[in-house]
Amino acid sequence: MTIETILPIPDMFAAKRILCIQPHYDDNDIGAAGILAQLAQNGAEIIYLTVTNDLMGVVDDSLSEAEAAEALKRDQFAAGKIVGVKEQFWLGYPDAGEYNYFDVRRDLLAHIRHIQPDFVFAPDPWLTYEGHRDHIQTGLAATEAVMFSGLTKIASSDPAVDATYRGHDIHGIAFYFTREPNVIVDIASTWETKQAVLRCYEAQFDPAGLDELVMALDMKSRQAAAGQGFEQGEPLKVLHTSALHCGI
Ligand SMILES: [Zn+2]
C-alpha cells in the first residue's frame, strides 16, 4: 500500500455536481473554462459562486453602480450559458474592499452544506506572487469550508441549513491559478468555447484587453501542455479533501 492508494488524485470527470467558487465574475472561466465546459458536456451540474461584487474592474466609468452591476451579471450569464453553468450564486462582498474572512467562510459553509457538491473548484490561495487579497481569501475560505463542511459545530451563516445538514462526501478540490499543478487537462476540444466565453466579459475588458487576454491564455495553455502530448492544457492542483491539512 502506498499513500497514493490511500489518497489518490480524485477524478473530477466522475463528479456529478461541481461548485466553482471564485473571487470575481471571470476567474472560474479564465482559470478553467476549458475544463468546466468538458465537465458540463460530461453531464456534471456546474454551479458558480462569486464572492465579491467585482465593481472595481468595470472599465466604463460612466456607468452607475447599478448599471455596472447589471452589465457584469449580463456578461456572466452569457458566459455561463456557453460553459453550461446550471446555477449562479453571489455573496456581494466589496471588490478589493474590507470584509471579514470568517464571514466569507460562514457563507461558503452554508452554500456547500446546501448545494452538497461532490467536487469544488477555487483559485489556489498559495499561488506565489498572488497580490490580490480577494483571491487569497476566497481560495482559503473555500478550502476551509470544504474541510469543515461535515463539522457542524462550526456554524455556517444559515442556521436552518446547519440544522438539517447530515453530511455528504466531497471527493476533491481543484485549484486553478496554481503554480504546482498535478493534473493538466487537454482543452483542445474546448479552446474555441473558452475563447467565446472570455469574449463575453465586455464590462471588464475593452476590445484590445480581451484580445490580449485571449492571446495570453492561448500562450499559457501551450506552455502548460508542453511535454504532455497535446497542444493546449489547463493546469490544476487536484487534491483529496484529506490532503488539505498538515501536508499528508
Ligand atoms: Zn479575480
**24 C-alpha to ligand 1 centroid (Å):** 4
How far apart are the C-alpha atoms of 243 and 247, rounded to whole Å?
Answer: 6
Type of residue numbered 164: T
Pairing of β 119-123 and β 45-52: unpaired
What pLDDT score does 199 carry?
Answer: 97
What protein residues have CB closer than 5 angstroms to ion ligand 1?
Answer: 23-24, 27
Residue 153 CA to ligand 1 centre (angstroms): 31
Please state, in angstroms and rounded to a whole number, the distance separating the CA atoms of residues 76 and 200.
Answer: 7
**CA–centroid distance, residue 3 to ligand 1 (Å):** 34
Q: CA-CA-CA-CA torsion for 161, 167, 171, 175, nearest 10 degrees?
A: 40
Query: What is the arrangement of strands in the sheet containing 45-52, beginning at the earlier edge strand?
Result: 85-93, 45-52, 17-22, 119-123, 172-176, 233-239, 183-186
Q: What is the pLDDT of residue 5?
A: 84
Per-residue pLDDT of the chain (248 residues; tens, 9 = 90+): 887 788 889 999 999 999 999 999 999 999 999 999 999 999 999 999 999 999 999 999 999 999 999 999 999 999 999 999 999 999 999 999 999 999 999 999 999 999 999 999 999 999 999 999 999 999 999 999 999 999 999 999 999 999 999 999 999 999 999 999 999 999 999 999 999 999 999 999 999 999 999 999 999 999 999 999 999 999 999 999 999 999 87
CA of 70 to the centre of ligand 1 (A): 18
**Distance between Cα 124 and ligand 1 center (Å):** 12
What is the pLDDT, as a whole number, of residue 2?
84
* Whole-number pLDDT of residue 234: 98
Looking at residue 240, its pLDDT comes to: 94
pLDDT, residue 109, reads 98
The confidence score (pLDDT) of residue 6 equals: 82
Cα of 25 vs centre of ligand 1, distance in Å, is 7
Q: Ligand 1: distance of its center to the CA of 4 in Å?
A: 32
Three-state SS letters, the chain: CCHHHHCCCCCHHHCCEEEEEECCCCHHHHHHHHHHHHHHHCCCEEEEEEEECCHHHCCCCCCCHHHHHHHHHHHHHHHHHHHCEEEEEEEEECCCCCCCHHHHHHHHHHHHHHHCCCEEEEECCCCCCCCCHHHHHHHHHHHHHHHHCCCCCCCCCCHHHHHHCCCCCCCEEEEECCCCCCEEEECHHHHHHHHHHHCCCCCCCCHHHHHHHHHHHHHHHHHHHCCCCCCCEEEEEEECHHHCCCCC
